[in-house]
Structure 1
Amino acid sequence: MKRYAILISMFAFVIFLAACGGNEEDSSGESQEDKEEARTIKHEMGETEITGTPEKVVALEFSFVDNLASLGITPAGIADDEDPERIIDPVKEKIGDYTSVGTRKQPSLEVISSLQPDLIIADYERHQDIYDQLSEIAPTIVLPSLSADYEGIIDSFETVAKAVGKEQKGEEVLKEHKNRMEELRSQVPEDESRTVLPAVVADSGYFAHNFESYTGSLLESIGLENAIQSGDDRYNKINLEQIVEVDPDVMFHMVTGDKTVVDEWKENDLYGKVSAVKEDQVYEVDRNMWSRFRGLISSEKILEDAINHLYE
């Protein structure tokens, strides 16, 4: 009887070990069951089913690179416009080596396919027409980036976190981000009444970002009112006369190229009538940071930059 009891105990212990092993967690804290779990991701082009944790992710917009870096993931491939210098330093510090898959406007399907990705993240504005081709290569989700405002960027981050199987990590990162945003907002005086105008400034023209643009809505989120509160387009090419009419108190210029249209305007008396010019409140800022990258990391850096300029 005693021997029978011992055998029963040993049998129960073996079953216990097997049960524990079946749900064993790896070093990332994910169980095997979690890794194989299938989930349906809703996005701009419909729904995509993803199984397990993607190991090779291709990002076709910089905002998605920012998203992945925030989650501790290095993309296998990035549409970096074939210029690694466009990867902003705070993001570069968080990711490792990657393969360039060409430009954001025309990524190379051949290079993407060669990477054998298990997830592709594409931008609705730029890539909706090649969605079917991308989906033949790997599960693909299409999210707003180029046309998104700040809140849209937050929504995209949450979708990316779910797609890569890091919802809990995403919640933690987003909580830290919101706390940082509150800290930055507290540095803007409650009586701040100046209007601001972020714009890409190039030889080809002056491209103003209105209150619904990513940068415009980001600045508004901490109490900095955009000078353009109307318009069908979030990004508007405007002339000098229109700037005088809008009359911003502060201008943030994302300069592109050695010479811009503003260099010509400086010889025009009209330019000197703009409040920002009269009060010496025109600031040159990094276009990669302020315009091309749209994510949690870049959002914080943009606001830090703006606050340093406005409240030295």
Structure 2
Amino acid sequence: MLQFARRRSAVARSAVALTAGLMLATGLSACATATDETPTAGADAAAGFPRSITHDKGTTEIKSKPQRIVALDNSLVAAVVLLERPLVGGIASYRNQKTFPDYLGDAVKDTKDIGPLDNPNLELIASLKPDLIVSATVRHDALYDKLSKIAPTVFVKTTGPIWKDNITLLGKALGEEAKAASKLADYEARAKKIGAAVNAKAGNPTVSIVRFVDGPTRLMAHQSFIGIILKDAGLKRPASQDQDTFDQEISEEQIELADADHIFVTTVYAGGTERKTKFQANPLWQRLKAVQAGHVYEVQDELWMTSVSVQGAHFVLDDIAKTFGVDPAK
């Protein structure tokens, strides 16, 4: 009887110990699960979230670091990719570009095309459950209120003339300020190196940018995307383009305004091709010093004019370095 009692007591102690062990294990597991479920709280606090972003349409509170971003402009699509954040939806088609540009690579392979620039699909955007939407007032001013009901929305004012400022603002909205500053600094440093090499080799040449479109021919000035790149590189412009404007439209009678030591030409659509053919058949074109010296170069419009991004700017710098035969500074 005594032995039975001792055995029962031992069994009871073992059961208590086992129960305590299970409770401890369960508690540890629960703690681990709770920690696994809320890692973003500490990460968000460390990254400075929640935060208020002042932008062109007001102030928007972003509660946590965005993980599902929709961008409604091609330059902002490229900016999100530049900052290496998750882009679930974006505008793919832009002018003569029908898909996301190849230079964005695999970063947009899972990104949904949310419709044309002038009429994005709001239902599709909502179905993507974004936690941040970015666009520009110049693009979608009328849609701001509707977009804001889908997710926190940040609008830049425009795209071309302030494309670098837009990357800085997007860096704040995405919690990637340091990366935005670093990417811009790397681009600007490379532009200066290439520009200095060109000036040293070619004797501070003037560079003209002529864009042929279905309409008046355009000379691109300082506020255009390409104008900003050339200014960052420290390359001189002819008087017609050494202006704090976006562009100047010229007729065939004003062809001489396109002249410089070197002329870079882009063409848009068939209408642009027809305009270029007429211009270049004009005797005034043949008299330009750049034409006579063989210093006229055809480059891609989708890179030099419409990419409006750090990625596109680097391709432009590649072209400039190759054209002048200088170190690409990569």
Same fold by TM-score greater than 0.5: yes
Are the equivalent residues in 1 in contact too, given 2:159–2:166 (CA < 8 A)?
no
CA deviation after TM superposition for structure 1 residue 122, in Å:
0.7
Distance of aligned partners of 1:84 and 1:205 in 2 relative to their CA distance in 1, 3 Å threshold: closer
**Gap regions ≥5 residues in structure 2:** 1-32
CA deviation after TM superposition for structure 1 residue 292, in Å:
1.4
Aligned residue pairs, count: 291
1:132 aligns with 2:148: no
Are the equivalent residues in 1 in contact too, given 2:209–2:258 (CA < 8 A)?
no
Equivalent residue number for residue 60 of structure 1 = 72
Equivalent residue number for residue 107 of structure 1 = 120
Are the equivalent residues in 1 in contact too, given 2:192–2:232 (CA < 8 A)?
no
**SS where residue 186 of structure 1 aligns?**
helix
**SS where residue 302 of structure 1 aligns?**
helix
**SS where residue 292 of structure 1 aligns?**
coil
Equivalent residue number for residue 6 of structure 1 = none
Are the equivalent residues in 2 in contact too, given 1:211–1:226 (CA < 8 A)?
no
**SS where residue 260 of structure 1 aligns?**
helix
Equivalent residue number for residue 103 of structure 2 = 90
1:16-31 aligned within 5 A: 31=43
**Gap regions ≥5 residues in structure 1:** 1-20
Equivalent residue number for residue 206 of structure 2 = 195
Equivalent residue number for residue 168 of structure 2 = 158
Aligned counterparts of 2:108 and 2:261: Cα–Cα separation in 1 = 38
Are the equivalent residues in 1 in contact too, given 2:224–2:247 (CA < 8 A)?
yes
CA distances 1:222-268 after superposition (whole Å, capped 9, x unpaired): 12223334668513332122231342332222222243301122222
Letter in 1 for 2:144: Y
- CA RMSD, 1 decimal: 3.2
Equivalent residue number for residue 278 of structure 2 = 264
Equivalent residue number for residue 219 of structure 2 = 208
Aligned counterparts of 1:86 and 1:277: Cα–Cα separation in 2 = 35
Equivalent residue number for residue 141 of structure 1 = 154
> Would you tell me which structure has more helix in proportion to its own residues?
2
**SS where residue 294 of structure 1 aligns?**
coil
Are the equivalent residues in 1 in contact too, given 2:193–2:233 (CA < 8 A)?
no
Aligned counterparts of 2:144 and 2:275: Cα–Cα separation in 1 = 37
Letter in 2 for 1:306: I
Letter in 1 for 2:181: E
Aligned counterparts of 2:257 and 2:73: Cα–Cα separation in 1 = 34
Are the equivalent residues in 1 in contact too, given 2:134–2:153 (CA < 8 A)?
yes
Aligned counterparts of 1:57 and 1:205: Cα–Cα separation in 2 = 38
CA distances 1:5-58 after superposition (whole Å, capped 9, x unpaired): xxxxxxxxxxxxxxxx99999999x72534782111111222111111111111
Are the equivalent residues in 2 in contact too, given 1:63–1:293 (CA < 8 A)?
yes
Equivalent residue number for residue 297 of structure 1 = 311
**Percent of pairs identical after alignment?**
26
CA deviation after TM superposition for structure 1 residue 105, in Å:
3.0
Given candidates 248, 271, 282, the residue that maps to 1:236 is 248
Aligned counterparts of 1:174 and 1:266: Cα–Cα separation in 2 = 37
Are the equivalent residues in 1 in contact too, given 2:48–2:175 (CA < 8 A)?
no
Aligned counterparts of 2:179 and 2:38: Cα–Cα separation in 1 = 16
TM-score (norm 1): 0.80
Are the equivalent residues in 2 in contact too, given 1:77–1:100 (CA < 8 A)?
yes
Letter in 2 for 1:160: L
1:226 aligns with 2:240: no
Are the equivalent residues in 1 in contact too, given 2:97–2:302 (CA < 8 A)?
no
Quick check: which has more Rg, 1 or 2?
A: 2
Are the equivalent residues in 2 in contact too, given 1:25–1:32 (CA < 8 A)?
no
Equivalent residue number for residue 55 of structure 2 = 43
CA deviation after TM superposition for structure 1 residue 89, in Å:
2.9
Are the equivalent residues in 1 in contact too, given 2:93–2:100 (CA < 8 A)?
no
Given candidates 272, 288, 297, the residue that maps to 1:283 is 297
**SS where residue 233 of structure 2 aligns?**
coil
Are the equivalent residues in 1 in contact too, given 2:222–2:244 (CA < 8 A)?
no
